[in-house]
Amino acid sequence: MQIHPELQALRNDDAPQRRAQQALHDAMVAWRAAPAVAAIVDDVARFAEGAELAECLALARLFVAGDASVLDLVHGFTAVGAGALMAHPLAHLPQRHYHDQVLSTLVLARAGQVTLSLAVVDGDSFARLPPARTASFWPGEAWEHVLAGRAQVEIVQNVEPRGLPVQLRREPAEMRPGDVFVRHAAREAAVLRKVAGCLVSLQLQRRHVDAGPAREYDLATGALVHQSAGDPRDSRMELSLAVLGRMGRSDAAPLMASIAREPGSESLRWQALRECLALDTRTGFATLSVIAGDPRDVLSAPAGVLRAQLVEAHPQLLEL
């Protein structure tokens, strides 16, 4: 195995790497402090607090077809970022970023449920992937401004989301530089089919809180093939519940009982109920009974079934 001397040296002394990282960080802080960028960052925060996009002038301009401000933003960022990386090639950009052979993303600004990010899809690598079989819908809004490259996409409308299978209407569309796409992501998905060159776009996304899970449907049949939490907080809470349960932390049972009874993700509430029952039979069964007895609660039916099963297996629960 060959290890570059510069990397080898870092094993004994990581100070140069820390200095390089500080330099990248300082460069990006300076970039963000420029008035044009700072106005956009402020707008992202305002947008996350619920403002309409039109009220956020600097941010809204980025998603007006033909407006030059988007190129100013991206060219400004790449000039500063690339300059700093050329001076410090082993450093990382401090912003969240992701790269695989096909897709690269970089989050330019984020606040609350809102992200403003750059996305690049490499056409040659994309062509080697098997074609997408599903479309994903998630609770939120998405804006996309194509900056470079071209792509053929399929716009998939979920025209009848209630009931299964859902009805999906599929229409081909072209993405060209300067195009702006706006989607209610719970009803409309964009599935990439073919990419010429590198497709570069600026994306703005705002997730809705407590608006249900993200759902993935089979394009051919409309069958639900997967659903996942619509909010990362729900997943974090579920993982925490599982850990507390395995640790036998019965002192967490009252908190789990509150989570199970509060409005929120059905999945999170059900997991809280299960863990609560296992940690503290009395608290858990009381919570289960309350949920089962409230016909307006979406979990009422499964809670009723579970309650009947538990009572059959353990008749003494009825004495509680």
Partner 1 sequence: MNLPKIDVSSLPDLDTLTGVFGSLVDAAKVQSSNDTIIVMMTFLYDIYPPNPGSGLI
Site for partner 1 in 105-144 (CB under 8 A): 105, 107, 110, 115, 117, 119, 121, 126, 129-130, 132-134, 136, 138, 142, 144
Segment near partner 1 (CB under 8 A); pick from 54-62, 78-86, 101-109, 166-174: 101-109
- Provide the mask over 81-100, with x wherever binding to partner 1 is found by CB under 8 A and - wherever it is not: ----------xxxxxx-x--
Residues of this chain, 159-218, that bind partner 1 according to CB under 8 A = 181, 183, 185, 189-192, 199, 201, 203, 205, 213-214, 216
Q: In this structure, are residues 140 and 224 in contact, taking their beta carbons and an 8 Å threshold?
A: no
Residues of this chain, 240-269, that bind partner 1 according to CB under 8 A = 245, 265-267
Helix (H, G, I), strand (E, B) or coil at 303: helix
Min separation Cβ 73 and partner 1, Å = 16
Min separation Cβ 46 and partner 1, Å = 15
Number of chain residues interacting with partner 1 (CB under 8 A): 84
Segment near partner 1 (CB under 8 A); pick from 48-56, 80-88, 289-297, 308-316: 308-316
d(CA 142, CA 277): 40
In the complex with partner 1, which residue's Cβ is closer, 61 or 193?
193
Does 157 interact with partner 1 (rule: CB under 8 A)? no
Interface pick for partner 1 out of 81, 196, 211, 235 (rule CB under 8 A): 235
Which residue shows structure tokens 């980025």? 62
Contacts of 169 (CB under 8 A, 6+ apart): 156, 157, 159
Smallest CA-to-CA distance from 138 within 238, 237, 203, 231 is with: 231
d(CA 296, CA 298): 6
d(CA 46, CA 28): 21
Residues 266/267/272/277 CA torsion (nearest 10 deg): 90
d(CA 133, CA 34): 43
